[in-house]
Amino acid sequence: MSARSFVIQLQAGIGQAILPDHRKMVPGIQYVVDYDTFSKISLGARQNVIKVVNVNLDTTGTAVAATASGTFLPAQVSSGINTQAIASGVSWFSLLTTVSPNLSTYSIAGFGAQGFDAGGTNGAGTGIGTPQASLSGNASNQTIVGPEGNRYALAYNGTASTISGGWSSVWYDYNNRYISTASGVGLLVKQDGLGTSYTASVNTTLTGSLGAVTTIGTKAGEFAGIALVNIPTGNFGWILVEGTHPNAAVASGTAVGATVAVSGTSTQGYLAVPTTTTTSVSAAGVVTGSSLANNTVGTVLTVPASGTTTAGQFFAAVQVRSRRVKKPYVRVLNKN
């Protein structure tokens, strides 16, 4: 991670709040919270309850200095043992930065490769592996947790354009792991009779290497993750879905500590501060202004810097909050 702690306070008009570490917040008082505690603060609270006053970063190093380079260099992944070949002959770093329409099968074992593989790919029981077949019509819902604590997911770019490294993506077909930039993929959030907001399902027919893939009832438009490297059309690769991304594309001038969301009109996958943060529900039950409807993603950690490989774009380290209400449990070694 590139942040050790955060200084936060309540937004104007908020009377009180309770932090994940059970401390009570009151107006006019600033609170210091560590990275782990901050990562548990919900997206809704970041958008409408708290305000980040300051971000206390680690000393300048790889994770911070590489922000504007357009190169994926997360802490504990880009150097040392994580660049060495694992049992299958592929390093951890090589796995995360590999994109291809047809990946060969290999597996990673151990506590540094925790994850979930619903597809039961080859090498079952030895860790997480990538499938020999393409994702088209036979997606493997794979997520892995890296040694630095970030969570990654395997996704397929079924659009006609490359999704560049650092760009935010949304689900084009959640069931089959298709991703796209937000432009052209609408997000519809509705509210049921009990007041619960949800992403409306859609039907899709998308092109794949094995032919058209038709899905009846899938989520589309909701934030998927941030690409690690360029994912060309017709290829699949890894996206970061939780943790710190060192070089995420953001709007120029975005302040450190700002809560950012997917820009729904951006063809270049950048994050920006939502224009509307007041929740409203139409007569048809359509929700606007909420963190879910805004596609809120997380918090900016560093000052945006002009990209050295992507002209005209700015990049910053961004802490991406898990989309789940509660953060997923991550196992640790038994030290007893």
| Predicted local confidence at residue 326, as pLDDT | 65
Tens digit of each residue's pLDDT (9 = 90 or more) over 154-198: 888 888 899 999 999 999 988 888 999 988 788 999 999 899 999
Dig out the tokens for 107 from the structure.
């597996």
Rounded CA separation 241/152 (Å): 5
Under a CB-based contact definition with an 8 Å cutoff, are residues 307 and 314 in contact? yes
Tell me what pLDDT residue 68 has: 46
Q: Token pair of 85, please?
A: 């070949």
Helix (H) or strand (E) holding 157, with range, is: strand 151-157
Would you list the domain boundaries of the chain? 3-57, 62-320
Whole-angstrom Cα distance, residue 17 to residue 51? Answer: 12
C-alpha closest to that of 131 among 49, 59, 187, 209? 209
Q: Provide the residue-wise pLDDT of the chain in tens; the chain has 336 residues.
A: 468 899 999 999 999 999 999 999 999 999 999 999 999 999 999 999 999 999 998 755 444 444 444 456 555 454 554 555 544 455 667 778 888 886 545 555 544 454 444 444 444 444 444 544 444 444 455 777 776 778 888 888 888 899 999 999 999 988 888 999 988 788 999 999 899 999 999 998 887 767 778 888 888 999 999 999 999 998 888 899 999 998 999 999 999 999 999 987 777 889 999 999 999 999 999 999 999 999 999 999 999 998 766 667 899 999 999 887 665 555 555 555
CB 316 within 8 A of CB 67: yes
Q: Are strands 223-227 and 305-306 parallel, antiparallel or unpaired?
A: unpaired
Beta bridge partners of 214: 205
48: CB partners within 8 A, 6+ apart: 11, 277, 291
Q: Give percent above pLDDT 70 in the chain.
A: 71
- The tokens of 252 are what? 């120029």
- How many CB atoms are located within 10 Å of the residue 179 CB? 28
Q: What is the pLDDT of residue 149?
A: 79
3-state secondary structure (DSSP) of residue 81 = helix
- Residue (of 208, 155, 209, 204) closest to 181 by Cα position: 155
Per-residue pLDDT, 97:
85
Percent above pLDDT 90 for the chain? 47
Distance CA 172, CA 223 (A): 10
Nearest alpha-carbon partner for 224 in 115, 119, 276, 151: 151
Amino acid (1-letter code) at residue 121: T
CA atoms within 13 A on the CB side of 250: 35
- Model confidence over 231-281: pLDDT tens digits? 999 888 889 999 999 899 999 999 999 999 998 777 788 999 999 999 999
